[in-house]
Amino acid sequence: MFATLSDRLTSTFKNLRTKGRLSEADIDATVREIRRALLDADVAVPVVRSFTGAVRERALSAEVSGALNPAQQIVKIVNEELVAILGGDTRTLNLAKTPPTVILLAGLQGAGKTTLAGKLALHLKAQGHTPLLVAADLQRPNAVTQLQVVGERAGVPVFAPHPGNQGSDDVLPFGADPVGVARAGLETAHQRQHDVLIVDTAGRLGVDADLMQQASDIRDAVNPDEILFVIDAMIGQDAVTTAQAFADGVGFTGVVLSKLDGDARGGAALSVASVTGRPIMYASTGEKLTDFEVFHPDRMASRILDMGDVLTLIEQAEKNFDAEQTEKMAGKLAAGEDFTLEDFLEQMNQLKKMGSMKKMFGMLPGMGQMREALDNFDEREVDRIEAIIRSMTPAERQNPKIINGSRRSRIAAGSGTTTTAINQLLERFDGAQKMMKQMAKGGGMPGMPGMGNLPGMGGKKSRGRQAPARKVKGKSGNPALRAQQERGVATKPAAPAGSSFGLGAQAPKDVDPSTLELPAGFDKFLGGR
């Protein structure tokens, strides 16, 4: 979502790196480019003014003029100010001292509240909580059914005493009472001992009095500990107006950004926290129930500035990787066993559990410069590789070298690929296998015991040490040099007997032990038995 903004800011900072000192004109030009980039990203005008004013004031201060690298100092200032307008510190749920903790979801229709209710429930369930979903949206057609489906996929129970609107019109059915459903859901949570209650409420296509009144009535009935305002991150400048209207009409304690994986400019994410004064707590980053994460302002600022988000990547790996399989693989490599295609398939399946490969690569620092390659990356390539490996026999997975030309054609036919794809995979795997062997032996750091040279470092002579002379295989074609070589061979002394290195060692002479100053009692070791 922040690709365009990230590219603009990265380009601006790149121009600063060529300057040893920054003048006031340089800072003004940089701030001007930042202002344009933020406005193009649909960030609210008051937020842009506040942000650029703070950046300019700090950039003209002593912290930049006295810095060894002014360009890096500017990037540091922009990063800190971005963290500030995104909310500063990470904010988590305030759990009730006496369960259940009641969480009320509010927002416009189409913002993704119902799906997000399931994502939040699954997230809390993974933390050891026992959430209960309440279907209090009785107005949108089939909203109750959708929540039941989402709850079933998340493995979370749904309290839905009323079927809700089953027609095509967005009207409240006769006899439906969303407030009563929410109140009954709270009583059920007490009876069944659920420690978290998530209430899904109705939304509208726009802010109106009926929406505000119904949300206020549900709020008063269940007295929520947290009111989360779900906002579509793709609606641009209108996000600020909607958020302000909900803050005045219902009030909320935190913001959840949905559809953060979209291709919109993302100004809502940079505006809503600063305008409303309420922190962004969660972000929905995809269609799957697992595409949900805690919002960290510092990490999001790093993503925008193309510094990556390695911490989130590590957290996802810890969550999805099987520790037992990882330990087993480490033990196998330490024992010197070969890395097989079966092992490769297991590792690839664990990577798939982490989600989109593009998303993972995008969290690495500097990947903004490879955005075109990332965009062209085909996620289905992983499935093709898996199909190829599964088309092999167990023996071929253990030892790919036994795969001949005929078998390669059969594997290609079985996996729906080509022989060229099989050859490329086996060639890449052979390189990976060699690398794993090198790592198992401790290779990679030059000059350390038991470790080989890094690629491209072998054969270079180190400073301060004379390289060994080259071995002359034949006589020189130059007559003078050839005569010098012949004289050198003729005058070179032969190594004496008993000398392995030609150092001129002499035969030892008889020595009288009594003439040596030896420790007391040592003379008994010099005599024969």
- Whether 104 contacts 227, CB under 8 Å: yes
In this prediction, residue 194 carries a pLDDT of 94
Global pTM reads 0.63
The single-letter DSSP state of residue 110 is T
Instruction: For the beta carbon of residue 405, count every other beta carbon within 10 angstroms.
Output: 9
Distance between start and end Cα atoms, the chain: 89
DSSP sequence for 376-434: T--THHHHHHHHHHHTS-HHHHH-GGG--HHHHHHHHHHHT--HHHHHHHHHHHHHHHH
pLDDT of 492 over the 50 cut: no
d(CA 132, CA 158): 6
d(CA 146, CA 133): 12
Give the pLDDT mean for 223-244. 82
pLDDT above 50 for 454: no
pLDDT digits (tens, 9 = 90+) for 90-119: 888 888 888 899 999 988 887 888 999 999
Of 142, 147, 93, 91, which Cα lies nearest the Cα of 119?
147
Specify whether the CB–CB gap between 164 and 143 falls below 8 A. yes
- Separation between Cα atoms, residue 432 and residue 426, nearest integer Å: 10
126-150 residue pLDDT tens: 999 999 999 998 888 888 999 999 9
Express each pLDDT in 281-294 by its tens digit.
Answer: 998 888 888 888 88
Annotated binding site: 107-114, 200-204, 258-261
Q: What is the pLDDT of residue 459?
A: 41
pLDDT 10s digits, 291-346: 888 888 888 888 777 766 666 666 666 666 666 666 666 666 666 566 788 888 87
**Residue 147 structure tokens:** 């929540």
At residue 528, the pLDDT reads 47
Domains with residue ranges and CATH for the chain:
3-85 (1.20.120.140), 101-305 (3.40.50.300), 315-322+329-440 (1.10.260.30)
CB contact at 8 A, 299 and 305: no
Would you say residue 461 has pLDDT above 50?
A: no
Other beta carbons less than 10 A from residue 262's beta carbon: 13
Contacts of 13-19 with C-beta under 8 Å, sequence gap 24+, read: 13/71, 13/74, 13/75, 13/78, 13/305, 16/70, 16/71, 16/74, 17/71, 19/70, 19/71
pLDDT of amino acid 2: 67
Read off the pLDDT of residues 351-378 as tens digits, 9 standing for 90 and up: 777 767 666 766 666 665 666 666 676 7
Q: Which uninterrupted H or E stretch holds 191?
A: helix 178-192
Tell which phi-psi region holds residue 34, choosing left (phi > 0), alpha (psi between -120 and 50) or beta. alpha
* pLDDT given at position 467: 44
| Identity at 166, one-letter amino acid code | Q
Q: Coil, strand, or helix at residue 266?
A: coil
Sheet holding 226-232, edge to edge: 158-159, 131-135, 196-200, 101-106, 226-232, 254-258, 280-284, 292-294
Which of 392, 384, 398 lies closest to 433 in space, CA to CA? 398
* Residue 466's pLDDT band (cuts 50, 70, 90): very low
> 3-state secondary structure string, 67-98?
CCCHHHHHHHHHHHHHHHHCCCCCCCCCCCCC
Q: Which residue has the tokens 């006496």?
A: 98
- Burial class of residue 159 in the structure, from the number of CB atoms within 10 Å of its CB (0-12 exposed, 13-18 middle, 19+ buried): buried
Considering only CA atoms, which of 174, 249, 184, 180 is closest in space to residue 213? 249
Tens-digit pLDDT profile for residues 37-84: 888 887 888 888 888 998 888 888 766 666 557 777 888 888 888 888
* CA 74/CA 122 separation, integer angstroms: 40
Distances (CA, A) of 328 to 22, 316, 318: 54, 20, 16
CA atoms of 26 and 19, how far apart (whole Å)? 9
> pLDDT at position 519, please?
53
Q: Which residues of 479-503 are buried (b: 16+ CB within 10 A; e: fewer)?
A: eeeeeeeeeeeeeeeeeeeeeeeee
Q: For position 165, what pLDDT does the model report?
A: 82
Residues placed in the known binding site for GTP: 107-114, 200-204, 258-261
Q: If you ran DSSP here, which 8-state letter would residue 165 be given?
A: -
What's residue 264's pLDDT?
57
pLDDT in tens, 21-31: 777 888 888 88
SS3 470: coil
CA distance 37 to 29: 12
Q: 272-304 burial string, b = 16+ CB within 10 Å, else e?
A: bbbbbebbbbbbbbbeebbbbbbbbbbbbbbbb
The answer to whether residue 496 scores a pLDDT higher than 50 is no
Residue 198 confidence class, pLDDT cut points 50, 70, 90? very high
Average pLDDT over residues 243-259: 84
In this predicted structure, what is the pLDDT of residue 128?
A: 92
Q: Which amino acid is at 329?
A: M
Residue with the bigger pLDDT between 463 and 301: it is 301
